[in-house]
Amino acid sequence: MIELRNVSKVYSNGTKGLDDIDLQIKEGEFVVIVGLSGAGKSTLLRSINRLHEISEGEITVNGNSISEAKGNELYRIRRDIGMIFQNFNLVRRSSVMRNVLSGRVGYHSTLKMILGLFSKQDKELAMNALNRVNIAEKAYIRADQLSGGQQQRVSIARALAQEAKVILADEPVASLDPITTKQVMDDLLRINQELNITMVVNLHSVDLARKYASRIIGLNKGKIVFDGKANEATEEV
């Protein structure tokens, strides 16, 4: 599903974000990446979705080289990848429905988005996605009127409406309280199990990783220092 071969990322100031990573993630896995702040977790997810260019190596998603894709091919590969961020990345002044549909119409349909030209099927898909994270009753409320946990569930719905096959979540619960954290992690797990969507989730809590992951990858200074089943992971990773 996702494969990294000899991937390194050196930032323009010389900092090594990733140092010669080899990694394979299979369809349907729930992978949690753990590591201290600065370990390279965010750099890893941003590299997979090509939010920045890697310095060396190759990354493939569903057998397609995303790190080398050009133009439309890059958009096609990205359609399969949903992204969830710590700060939700919603359009704050837009309705929940519009935010969810922004995953559906894709990056290249800005005009469709601005004009609000959504088909009946688009809206049905968005409502289904909102139902799956139990937030359908908020569909026509402005995003910035929701709590943090609700906003994060909207961003999960956006990935679902996009019909993503893999979700990359960068510290999705870092700004949430413990109860909301559990709800959002439960949602991600349920989606993984019911829809077989592959999950790659960055967390700084090993405890939380152990509860949800089928596999834990430990990063330190841009290198993989642990890769195994959740119950084999200790506090040291």
Answer yes or no whether residue 72 interacts with ligand ADP by CB under 6 A.
no
Q: Which of 11, 22, 27, 124 binds ligand ADP (CB under 6 A)?
A: 11
| Cα gap 200→188, rounded to integer Å | 10
Answer yes or no whether residue 47 interacts with ligand ADP by CB under 6 A.
no
Q: Helices (DSSP H) in 49-177: which residue ranges?
A: 71-78, 96-105, 110-115, 120-132, 148-161
Q: Which stretch binds ligand ADP (CB under 6 A): 39-47, 60-68, 90-98, 106-114?
A: 39-47
Angle between helices 120-132 and 148-161 (to 10 degrees): 130
Q: Nearest approach, Cβ of 65 to ligand ADP (angstroms)?
A: 19
Q: Which stretch binds ligand ADP (CB under 6 A): 30-38, 129-137, 149-157, 158-166?
A: 30-38
Answer yes or no whether residue 42 interacts with ligand ADP by CB under 6 A.
yes
- Whichever of 13 and 72 has its CB closer to ligand ADP, that residue is 13
Q: Which residue has the tokens 């999960």?
A: 156
Q: Which of 7, 31, 39, 101 binds ligand ADP (CB under 6 A)?
A: 39
Contact between 59 and 67 (Cβ < 8 Å)? yes
Q: Helices (DSSP H) in the chain: which residue ranges?
A: 41-48, 71-78, 96-105, 110-115, 120-132, 148-161, 178-195, 206-212
Answer yes or no whether residue 218 interacts with ligand ADP by CB under 6 A.
no
Answer yes or no whether residue 87 interacts with ligand ADP by CB under 6 A.
no
Q: How far lies 64's CA from each of 3, 4, 45, 68, in Å? A: 10, 12, 17, 9
- Whichever of 28 and 38 has its CB closer to ligand ADP, that residue is 38
What pairs with residue 159 in β-bridges?
none
Answer yes or no whether residue 52 interacts with ligand ADP by CB under 6 A.
yes
Contact between 102 and 91 (Cβ < 8 Å)? yes
Answer yes or no whether residue 75 interacts with ligand ADP by CB under 6 A.
no
- Whichever of 94 and 220 has its CB closer to ligand ADP, that residue is 220
| Cα gap 189→140, rounded to integer Å | 26
Q: What residues contact residue 174 under an 8 Å CB cut-off, 6+ apart?
A: 86, 204
Q: Which of 41, 104, 138, 165 binds ligand ADP (CB under 6 A)?
A: 41
Q: Nearest approach, Cβ of 147 to ligand ADP (angstroms)?
A: 25
Number of residues that bind ligand ADP (CB under 6 A): 14
Q: Which stretch binds ligand ADP (CB under 6 A): 22-30, 32-40, 141-149, 151-159?
A: 32-40
Query: Binding residues for ligand ADP, per CB under 6 A?
Result: 11-13, 15, 17, 35, 37-43, 52
